[in-house]
Structure 1
Amino acid sequence: MAFVAVRVLSLFVLSTAAVVTVIGAAKNPTCGSPTIGEPLLLLDRDLLQFALNLEHTECDFFLFGALGRGLDSVAPELAMGGPPPIGARKANLDATTKLIIEEFAYQEVGHLRAIKSTVGGFPRPQLDLSAHNFANIMDNALGYHLNPPFDPYVDTLNYLLASYAIPYMGLVAYVGANPNTNGFVAKRLLAGLLAVEAGQDAIIRAILYQRKDELVAPYNITVAEFTVRISELRNRLAMCGMKDEGLLVPRELGAEARMSTNILSANKDSLGYKRTPAEVLRVVYGTGSEHVPGGFLPKGGDGKIARAFLASL
């Protein structure tokens, strides 16, 4: 009996010690992620700085659309003295969309801060966010001049269609950059940026999908058709196959070849498409050439990668 009592007491002491250890661990948890390899490599820096061209475009488009004022008003230190965007203005948004776009805008401010504080950066490049630029994009997408010219700021639907043309490029650029980044600092930053860019694109596409059969006034063209044409234009400009899809696709291109709805654009395995910096510039410039600036970046992008393409003309 004495042996049994001692045995029970020993088990009690051991179990109590285990509980104390668990409680102690809970009070002092390990929250950091393992760090493998180098923190930051030169190519990592170049790829993340390249993304600033897209992040600046999104940031001022969303800030002006929601608030009627841009980065120079909200976080002027991040503009670093770069010129104000051309033609940006407040959009005539419904109350819900205004809140969504305002949140997106502040998220983009955070992205600029995260990138510049991690890898450094450059002044905001010259941006063209004018109605005229968006009208050219829509004319090129549809293959003829819209009358009246498309104006992204005139109402909620037009602004959402214009927004469809922007965050997706950041998404595919980050997917494309991922296999070429090696340092754990760069990978951590890229993953966080990609998550939010993908979320923004998904929200825009989901809202537009709810209105897919609606005619965009006064053009007698459905929302879905606009998205298909914009995606087709980006594929043509990038010249590297189909990596962009509208809200409706042939069934064989849908998820598991079973759907024609296409709220998220993805490949046959439902993985996000990727684009190289050259492809991205061909689309963002609107010229089909990474060497010829235009479109959203009329004087070209900045950073080592974009400048190298401009210098190699």
Structure 2
Amino acid sequence: MATPLLYSAIILFLLPLQLITAVPSCPRDCEPADATDRDRVHFAMNLEFLETEWFLCGAHGIGLDAIEPEYAEGGPPPIGCKKANLDRVTRRVVEEFGYQEVGHLRAIKTTVGGIQRPLIDISSENFAKIFDEAMGYCLDPPFDPYEDSIKYLMGTYVIPYVGLNGYVGTIPCLQKFETKKLVAGLMGVESGQDATVRAWLYKKANENVEPYNITVAEFTMRISELRNKLGHCGIKDEGIIVPPELGAENRTSSNVLSADYNSLSYPRTPAEIARITYGTGDEHRPGGFFPEGANGRIAREYLYNDKLKVL
């Protein structure tokens, strides 16, 4: 028969476990905000919508509404969708990426339900603004990612990596097996897409992007610097060529895969991702790829409140 002393010991032993379960493991600021698994995946779905439209439009000149319109949940069509002037191999790869993104939307919708597609701006004008800001001056002529394969790949450099960072930051905060399994699967393909693009660009690192006297490597460096600046949480983004002190084991300037000191993928929070994809450096102020802001509870809380509530 258990004694009162034994009961007290058991309670004292279990109490810390209860507190560990109750206290959120992911605080705010440069760490993920408190949220449910469903809310976290819904935030990521905004990036999946962006990538879906970008790749399908680049390959075919048509977006999600022509492939699986019900996945958009009645959301507005993207701004600036058009077919890119791609060589055969690049087009085939981009086409594959686009269909992969449709699968991602289906997987998310099946697992946690969907959200309405937000208004997305993938226009040449929007990309021109991003590249002007990255370079610190207005490019002449304005940068147009749809003009040829190398420019399209440069435009692609801007997008999937941020989604990958988001999944890396999200997984440690997930609670349920099914959402962990979902996000792990999504992250695997996102990382593959990013690696494919980076490797492609690395092969052309020292070539100028016409008609600019700017190399592919310098463009990637400037875009990464811009994302770090907008994110406000330190260096989590690196170009395809880096100083040796940022290379793997401080021994190489090649940087086909962007990673930290231990060669682990960098994480980003929803707030950081919103700051970057909005192009404003402020998760409360939409713009950039999401002119009216992203959808889902996390994104809407950022837009409607000065600080994210505990969800």
Q: TM-score, normalised by structure 2?
A: 0.87
Larger radius of gyration: 1
Q: How does 1:106-145 map to 2 (within 5 A)?
A: 106-145=99-138
Equivalent position of 1:208 in the other structure: 201
Equivalent position of 1:311 in the other structure: 304
Instruction: For 1:93, give the aligned amino acid.
Output: L
Aligned residue pairs total 274
Question: 1:234-274: CA deviations, max 9, x gaps?
Answer: 00000100000000111011001111000000001000000
Equivalent position of 1:90 in the other structure: 83
Residue 117 of structure 1: how far off its partner (Å): 1.2
Residue 121 of structure 1: how far off its partner (Å): 1.6
Q: Which of 253, 259, 267 is the aligned partner of 2:260?
A: 267
2:36 aligned counterpart, secondary structure? helix
Distance 2:66 2:276 in 1: 29
Distance 1:186 1:42 in 2: 13
Distance 1:164 1:42 in 2: 29
1:298 is the counterpart of 2:268: no
Aligned 8 A contact 2:46 2:295 in 1: yes
Q: How does 1:253-264 map to 2 (within 5 A)?
A: 253-264=246-257
Residue 48 of structure 1: how far off its partner (Å): 0.4
Equivalent position of 2:151 in the other structure: 158
Instruction: For 1:184, give the aligned amino acid.
Output: F
Distance 2:37 2:252 in 1: 37
Q: How does 1:12-31 map to 2 (within 5 A)?
A: none
Identical amino acids, percent of aligned pairs? 60
Q: Which of 232, 236, 240 is the aligned partner of 1:239?
A: 232
Equivalent position of 2:273 in the other structure: 280
Distance 1:42 1:76 in 2: 28
Distance 1:260 1:61 in 2: 30
Instruction: For 1:49, give the aligned amino acid.
Output: H
Equivalent position of 1:60 in the other structure: 53
Instruction: For 1:266, give the aligned amino acid.
Output: A
Distance 1:215 1:311 in 2: 43
Residue 220 of structure 1: how far off its partner (Å): 0.4
Question: 1:35-86: CA deviations, max 9, x gaps?
Answer: xx9xxx9711000011111000000000000011110001111111111100
Distance 2:40 2:281 in 1: 21
Distance 1:148 1:298 in 2: 24
1:149 is the counterpart of 2:114: no
Give the unaligned 5+ runs of structure 1. Answer: 1-36
Instruction: For 1:248, give the aligned amino acid.
Output: I
Distance 1:164 1:263 in 2: 12
1:47 is the counterpart of 2:40: yes
1:69 aligned counterpart, secondary structure? coil
Equivalent position of 2:7 in the other structure: none
Deviates more, 1:77-86 or 1:288-297: 77-86
Equivalent position of 2:173 in the other structure: 180
Report runs of 4+ in structure 1 exceeding 4 Å deviation.
Answer: none
Instruction: For 2:255, give the aligned amino acid.
Output: N
Instruction: For 1:176, give the aligned amino acid.
Output: G
1:51 aligned counterpart, secondary structure? helix
Deviates more, 1:199-208 or 1:73-82: 73-82
CA RMSD of aligned residues (A): 1.2
Distance 1:254 1:116 in 2: 38
Distance 1:248 1:298 in 2: 32
Instruction: For 2:256, give the aligned amino acid.
Output: I
Residue 218 of structure 1: how far off its partner (Å): 0.9
Instruction: For 1:165, give the aligned amino acid.
Output: V
Instruction: For 2:84, give the aligned amino acid.
Output: A
Distance 1:67 1:246 in 2: 29
Q: Which of 61, 69, 82 is the aligned partner of 1:76?
A: 69
Distance 1:89 1:43 in 2: 36
